[in-house]
Amino acid sequence: MSYFNKFPKTVYTLDEYKTGQITPEIFRRTKFLTEFTDNFAFFDEYDIEDGETPEIVADLVYNDPTLHWIILQANEIIDPRFDWPLDSNNLKRFAEGKYANVSAVHHYEDASGNIVNGNVTITSSSEFGSFNVGDIITNTTNTGNAFVTAKDSSSSMNVTAYNGGFVSGDVIALASNSQIRANVSSTTAITGTAVSNLAYEVIENETKRRIRIIKPQAIAEIINEFESTINR
């Protein structure tokens, strides 16, 4: 029996029940598993390998792929498509669908991995004549906002990026006048390490790898109590 078949059914409608669709009542979550997942004696930690599905993990741990629902419930995973780590190919496709440019700067980090403002020198082909210290600039190609902190010449200036960032090929504009634009030919980080959109998604994906696995000896009790609870 699949994970969602274990839930009672409910009618989902968007038009005051003129039409509706019968779906599993996925938000009816049971709480009894917390006595196992909150007690170190009842669970082990497991790092999901690239390409492993809940069914594969259940088969490895419990010798039964149909018990994948226990793994999902124990880790409060509602949507296995996005709450479970993606493999490298699907992660790349996901990022490419989410961002206009996966190589663009998502944010800047310090040496400890904390998100910080990025102090960056950006250059152009003598196009910064209308930009002045204190101006707010916007990245019109990708995501990024910054204010100008210093200007060396019409082709080079320092900025502090407080959202997103800048890479070669981006087009920037004054926030106060989007008609005043310039092409970024190169960037050099003074402080802060640039993290790309793809790198950010990889980091986020990795945080999903460690899960809690309830020990096999507790499974029989869990199945009995789960089926009793969900059918009340």
Lowest mean pLDDT among 15-19, 63-67, 98-102, 105-109: 15-19
Query: According to the model, what pLDDT value does residue 1 have?
Result: 45
Number of Cβ within a 10 Å radius of residue 194: 19
Radius of gyration over every alpha carbon of the chain, rounded to an integer in angstroms: 25
93 backbone dihedrals φ, ψ, rounded to 5°? -65, -40
pLDDT of residue 23 exceeding 70: no
Euclidean distance between CA atoms 232 and 215, whole angstroms: 26
Euclidean distance between CA atoms 167 and 141, whole angstroms: 10
pLDDT band for position 26 (cuts 50, 70, 90): very low
pLDDT band for position 79 (cuts 50, 70, 90): confident
Query: According to the model, what pLDDT value does residue 130 have?
Result: 94
pLDDT of residue 151 exceeding 60: yes
pLDDT digits (tens, 9 = 90+) for 39-57: 666 788 999 999 899 999 9
Q: Is 140 helix (H, G, I), strand (E, B) or coil?
A: coil
The whole-angstrom distance between residue 13's C-alpha and the CA centroid of its chain comes to: 29
Query: Within 13 A of 81's CA, how many CA atoms are on the CB side?
Result: 1
pLDDT digits (tens, 9 = 90+) for 164-215: 999 999 999 999 999 999 999 999 999 999 999 999 999 999 999 999 998 8
Q: What angle do CA 73, 74, 78 make, to 5 degrees?
A: 35
pLDDT band for position 231 (cuts 50, 70, 90): low
pTM exceeds 0.85, yes or no: no
Q: Indicate the helix (H) or strand (E) that contains 147.
A: strand 144-153
Query: According to the model, what pLDDT value does residue 36 have?
Result: 63
